[in-house]
């Protein structure tokens, strides 16, 4: 609720100024096609300041202070709870006041398609060399033209072998559970991941827009619903730890949180395959501090900075330099930290659904409200 | 003759003072409501006739599609489910709240205020936290099940959560005080002499309750029902937490359109339909209350 109020307050104050500024900015960026040419590598960064929007606890707590001390610009970090929340801010039409945003790949794709993103100027981000070569082959933005990947991972089955009695290998183990596991499984409720297990089990793309395919996905998910303990996006790993659930659909990093508390918890990518999700950093076209924004992304890609997210959020990053330092040690406790980029690239990148978005939303409602 | 002129002047200035006083007293409240209530509702009404942009946002091209979409069986099903859940919650709140309020009103004055504080006390804690703590208490590995298992009262854990009934119980728990308080206020105001008179005139206790107590406390009953029904109808925390996301209410649907699907126009239509429903219930409340109060006077 507080988030709502502050968002509104912000919009009110900004929109009055923004109305004028926006016209200027859009006029400027329209006149110089390929606006990246306007960036000045020698700009005085201490004169610039940044507003960065990220998920809470998804960057080092002292990031702003350290960045300012090392590079110069003052940084204000604001938080968004979901991709959708930050999308609402960025697409509302007025200047959001945000310079750099952390969004998932398919949302970066949607923002780029709307012309809201500043092309990445590789000359200003020398640390791009730290990334695995695979990190520039991501389908939502091949070549990282508009986005720089921050973390990546996949979705699979997180389970307690002492409760299941076997190692699941297929999405079928989750979607059509054996009798003793009925009422002991959960699925993610966010619609792309709600659909994913059924899409993969049925052999479809995670980005399918075919209505007949999605009808079959819906039928499977409606029959699965009767076997579920709950839909859960936030506390599924604690349900494994307490023993309330035996097997849950989970993001790899989140399964690690369960493993921290209970060593019987394991993670598997089902044999039918899964998704490759990527959280990215993007620079808004409306930013007036684009040089500082590039410097910020460059700073994040420094292995000493980027290893924070690996060690503390237990996510993998496409930053080879950072992974080389930390992943081997973590892999002892959290085997999925050792997954190679090649393994990850075998999974399917989630893409923006465009005009098929509402179809997914409607099916999600039909599934979750079914009796 | 001489006196009429000054009187008229003073009456005029009195009127002006009256107007000024009203502006000062009502102004801030009205202004607040206009800005923070009328404006958003107007915006919602405007959004409802436009289209969703491909990536969210609003495309300012008029359409009626959002309204026809709301008539799809899926969404009507969610709406009737919500009405049903809110309705059952309200009936249960009356069944539990009326005797409670009655009992509190009959307590000695000293105990009455203590009882009222106890009724209000849950509100000192955030609703989300209270609801979440229910999961800690009642899940399969929760405190209650552990205790029952330990004392050999049960042998397999009870599944108490993640059903529609759990949603109803959660809502009831959350909003019961809103039923008890207005009921208490109206029961407490009852003149005990009326009851004595009814008894003297030969009315049985049942008769006295239905033709005297109930009509005279109807305003409290109706106010309480509205206070319970409306927030229950729009609630989305309880279905998500205690319903395990397996029960979808219209509040969840609206939240999802705005925060997940980026479909503001359709979310606006759903929000408007709830506003319309609430408005209808207010009209009903008015009508029923009028009938009851005229009955009571007969």
3-state secondary structure chain A: CHHHHHHHHHHHHHHHHHHHHHHHHHHHHHHCCCHHHHCCCCCCHHHCEEEEEEECCCCCCCHHHHHHHHCCCEEEEEEECCHHHHHHHHCCCCCCCCCEEEEEHHHHHHHHHCCCECCCCHHHCHHHHHECHHHHCCHHHCCCCCEEEEEEEEEEEEEEHHHHCCCCCCHHHHHCCCHHHCCCEEECCCHHHHHHHHHHHCCCCCCCCCHHHHHHHHHHHHHHHCCEEEECCCCHHHHHHHCCCCEEEEEHHHHHHHHHHCCCEEEECCCCCCEEEEEEEEEECCCCCHHHHHHHHHHHCCHHHHHHHHHHHCCECCEHHHHHHHHHHHHCCCHHHHCCHHHHHCCEECCCCHHHHHHHHHHHHHHHCCC
For the segment A44-58, what is each residue's pLDDT rounded down to a tens digit?
Answer: 888 899 999 999 999
Tell me the percentage of chain A whose pLDDT exceeds 70. Answer: 90
B36 lies within 8 A of chain A by CB: no
Write the residue in B55, B56, B74 that is nearest to A365 by C-beta.
Answer: B74
A65 CB-near residues (< 8 Å, 6+ apart): none
Test the B interface: residue of A146, A361, A371 with most B CBs within 10 Å: A361
Q: What CATH architecture is A154-276+349-368?
A: 3-Layer(aba) Sandwich (3.40)
Write the residue in A84, A114, A354 that is nearest to B260 by C-beta.
Answer: A84
Q: Which residues of B touch A242 (CB under 8 A)?
A: 139, 141
Answer yes or no: is pLDDT of B29 > 80.
yes
* pLDDT for res A132: 97
Answer yes or no: is pLDDT of A310 > 60.
yes
Question: What does the pLDDT average to over A185-197?
Answer: 96
Q: By C-alpha distance, which of A164, A162, A137 is closest to A149?
A: A137
* H/E run at residue B51: strand B51-52
Q: Which residues of B touch A369 (CB under 8 A)?
A: 74, 77-78, 81, 247-248
Q: Name residue, tokens 């209350």.
A: B289
Q: Which of A239-253, B28-42, B243-257 has the lowest mean pLDDT?
A: B28-42
Question: Per the CB < 8 Å rule, is B78 touching A365?
Answer: yes
Question: Per the CB < 8 Å rule, is A231 touching B246?
Answer: yes
CA B81 to chain centre: 17
pLDDT band at A37 (very low <50, low <70, confident <90, very high): low
Contact B143, B155 (CB under 8 A): no
Can you read off the two tokens belonging to residue A143? 């070549």
Answer yes or no: is pLDDT of A15 > 50.
no
Higher per-residue confidence, B55 vs A329: A329
Question: What does the pLDDT average to over B199-210?
Answer: 87
Residue of A nearest to B157 (CA): A244
Answer yes or no: is pLDDT of A8 > 50.
no
Question: Per the CB < 8 Å rule, is B55 touching A244?
Answer: no
- Measure B176 CA to nearest chain A CA, in Å: 23
Ramachandran angles phi, psi of A18, nearest 5°: -60, -35
Question: Per the CB < 8 Å rule, is B54 touching A355?
Answer: yes
* pLDDT for res B287: 86
* pLDDT for res B26: 87
* pLDDT for res A41: 85
Tell me the percentage of chain B whose pLDDT exceeds 90. Answer: 58
Answer yes or no: is pLDDT of A33 > 50.
no
For the segment A66-99, what is each residue's pLDDT rounded down to a tens digit?
Answer: 999 999 999 999 999 889 889 888 987 778 899 9
Question: Per the CB < 8 Å rule, is A114 touching B248?
Answer: no
Average predicted confidence (pLDDT) for chain B: 89
* pLDDT for res B211: 86
Higher per-residue confidence, B294 vs B191: B191
pLDDT band at A21 (very low <50, low <70, confident <90, very high): very low
Can you read off the two tokens belonging to residue B217? 């406390």
Q: By C-alpha distance, which of B250, B254, B275 is closest to B263?
A: B254
Answer yes or no: is pLDDT of A189 > 90.
yes
For the segment A315-338, what is each residue's pLDDT rounded down to a tens digit?
Answer: 999 999 999 988 889 999 999 999
* pLDDT for res A59: 96
For the segment B76-127, what is each residue's pLDDT rounded down to a tens digit?
Answer: 999 999 999 999 999 999 999 999 999 999 999 999 999 999 999 988 999 9
Question: Per the CB < 8 Å rule, is A366 touching B244?
Answer: no
Q: Which residues of B touch A215 (CB under 8 A)?
A: none
> Looking at the domain that runs over A2-152+277-340, which CATH code has it been given?
3.40.190.10
| CA A156-A157-A163 angle, 5° bins | 170
Beta strands of B92-249 (E only): which ranges? none
Question: Per the CB < 8 Å rule, is A368 touching B253?
Answer: no
* pLDDT for res B282: 86
**DSSP 8-state symbol, B58:** E
Task: List where CATH 3.40.190.10 sits in chain A.
Answer: 2-152+277-340, 154-276+349-368
pLDDT band at B58 (very low <50, low <70, confident <90, very high): confident
* pLDDT for res A325: 87
Q: Specify the pTM.
A: 0.85
Q: Count the neighbouring beta carbons within 10 Å of the beta carbon of residue B274.
A: 18
Contact A149, A104 (CB under 8 A): no
Q: Which residues of B touch A225 (CB under 8 A)?
A: 246
For the segment B206-253, what is each residue's pLDDT rounded down to a tens digit?
Answer: 888 888 888 889 889 999 999 999 999 999 999 999 999 999 999 999
Answer yes or no: is pLDDT of A101 > 50.
yes
Answer yes or no: is pLDDT of A232 > 70.
yes
* pLDDT for res A131: 97
* pLDDT for res A36: 45
Answer yes or no: is pLDDT of A258 > 50.
yes
Higher per-residue confidence, B56 vs A183: A183
For the segment B143-169, what is each residue's pLDDT rounded down to a tens digit?
Answer: 999 999 999 999 989 889 999 999 999
A228 lies within 8 A of chain B by CB: yes
Answer yes or no: is pLDDT of B73 > 80.
yes
Answer yes or no: is pLDDT of A12 > 70.
no
* pLDDT for res B297: 53
Question: What does the pLDDT average to over A153-174?
Answer: 97
In chain B the domains, ranked by start, together with CATH numbers, are 73-297 (1.10.3720.10)
Question: Per the CB < 8 Å rule, is B78 touching A357?
Answer: no
């Amino acid at each position: 609720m507080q988030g709502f109020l502050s968002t509104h307050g912000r919009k009110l104050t900004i929109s009055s100024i923004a109305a004028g500024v926006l016209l200027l900015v859009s006029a400027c960026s329209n006149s110089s096609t390929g606006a990246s040419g306007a960036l000045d590598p020698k700009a005085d960064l201490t004169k610039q300041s940044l507003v960065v929007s990220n998920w809470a606890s998804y960057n080092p707590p002292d990031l702003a202070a350290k960045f300012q001390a090392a590079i110069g610009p003052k940084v204000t970090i604001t938080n968004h709870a979901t991709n959708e929340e930050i999308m609402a801010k960025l697409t509302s039409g007025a200047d959001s006041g945000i310079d750099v945003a952390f969004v998932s790949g398919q949302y970066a794709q949607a923002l780029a398609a709307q012309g809201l993103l500043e092309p990445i100027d590789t000359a200003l981000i020398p640390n791009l060399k730290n990334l695995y070569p695979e990190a520039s082959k991501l389908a939502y933005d091949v070549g990282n033209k508009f986005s720089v990947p921050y973390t990546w991972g996949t979705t699979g089955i997180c389970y307690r072998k002492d409760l299941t009695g076997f190692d699941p290998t297929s999405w079928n183990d989750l979607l059509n559970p054996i009798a003793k596991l009925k009422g002991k499984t959960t699925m993610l409720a966010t619609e792309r991941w709600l659909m994913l297990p059924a899409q993969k089990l049925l052999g479809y793309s995670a980005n399918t827009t075919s209505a007949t395919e999605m009808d079959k996905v819906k039928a499977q998910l409606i029959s699965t619903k009767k076997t579920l303990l709950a839909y859960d996006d936030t506390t599924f790993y604690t349900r494994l730890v307490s023993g309330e659930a035996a097997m849950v659909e989970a993001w790899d990093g989140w399964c690690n949180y369960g493993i921290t508390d209970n060593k019987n918890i394991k993670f598997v990518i089902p044999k039918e395959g899964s998704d490759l999700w990527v959280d990215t950093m993007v620079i808004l076209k409306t930013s007036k501090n684009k040089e500082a924004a590039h410097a910020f992304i460059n700073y994040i890609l420094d292995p000493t900075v980027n290893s924070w997210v690996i060690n503390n959020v237990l996510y993998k990053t496409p930053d080879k330099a950072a992974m080389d330092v930390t992943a081997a040690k973590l892999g002892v406790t959290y085997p999925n930290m050792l997954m190679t980029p090649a393994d990850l690239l075998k999974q399917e990148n989630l893409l923006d659904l465009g005009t098929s978005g509402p179809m997914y939303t409607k099916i999600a409602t039909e599934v979750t409200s079914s009796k | 003759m001489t006196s009429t002129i000054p009187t008229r002047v003073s009456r005029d200035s009195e009127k002006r003072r009256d107007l000024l006083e009203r502006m000062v007293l009502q102004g801030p409240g009205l202004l607040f409501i206009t800005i923070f209530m009328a404006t958003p509702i107007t915006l919602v009404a405007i959004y409802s006739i436009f289209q969703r942009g491909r990536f969210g946002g609003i495309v300012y091209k008029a359409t009626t599609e959002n309204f026809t979409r709301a008539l799809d069986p899926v969404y009507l099903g969610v709406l009737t489910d919500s009405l049903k859940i809110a309705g059952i919650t309200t009936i249960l709140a009356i069944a539990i709240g009326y005797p409670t309020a009655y009992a509190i009103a009959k307590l000695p004055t000293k105990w009455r205020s203590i009882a009222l504080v106890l009724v209000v006390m849950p509100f000192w804690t955030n609703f989300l936290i209270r609801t979440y703590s229910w999961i800690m208490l009642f899940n399969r590995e929760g405190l209650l099940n552990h205790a029952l298992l330990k004392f050999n009262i049960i042998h397999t854990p009870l599944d108490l959560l993640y059903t529609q009934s759990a949603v109803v119980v959660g809502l009831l728990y959350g909003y019961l005080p809103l039923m008890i308080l207005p009921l208490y206020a109206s029961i407490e105001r009852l003149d005990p002499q009326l009851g004595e008179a009814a008894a003297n005139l030969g009315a049985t206790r049942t008769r006295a309750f239905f033709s005297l107590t109930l009509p005279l406390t109807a305003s409290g009953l109706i106010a309480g029902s509205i206070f319970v029904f409306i927030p229950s109808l729009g609630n989305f925390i309880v279905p998500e937490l205690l319903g395990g996301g397996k029960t979808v209410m219209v509040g969840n649907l609206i939240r999802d359109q705005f925060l997940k699907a980026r479909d503001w126009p359709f979310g606006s239509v759903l929000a408007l339909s709830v506003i319309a429903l609430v408005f209808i219930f207010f009209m009903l409340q008015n009508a029923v209350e009028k009938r009851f109060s005229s009955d009571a006077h007969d």
